[in-house]
Amino acid sequence: MDLNTFQSILTIGETVSVEFKRCKDGIGPDVYESVCSFLNRFGASCIIQI
C-alpha cells in the first residue's frame, strides 16, 4: 500500500471493507474476529494502532 492510498483510507474512515482497531494492551480477540470476517467475505483492510 502506498502513502496516497493509506491517506485516502484514513480520510474516508471506516467502511464495509476498512476497520480501525486500537490495541494498547496487545492484539485482542476482537481484532482476530475482524480479520476472520474480512477473510470470509471479499477481503479488506484492518488498520491497527499499537
Identify the residue whose cell numbers are 476498512.
18
Q: Distance (Å, rounded) from C-alpha 23 to C-alpha 8?
A: 22
- Nearest Cα neighbor of 16 from 49, 38, 31 is 38
- pLDDT tens, position by position, 26-50: 888 888 888 888 888 777 888 888 8
pTM: 0.68
Domain ranges of the chain: 3-49
- Nearest Cα neighbor of 31 from 46, 9, 14 is 46
Is 90 exceeded by the pLDDT of residue 16? no
The pLDDT of residue 50 is 81
Tell me the three cell numbers of residue 7.
491517506
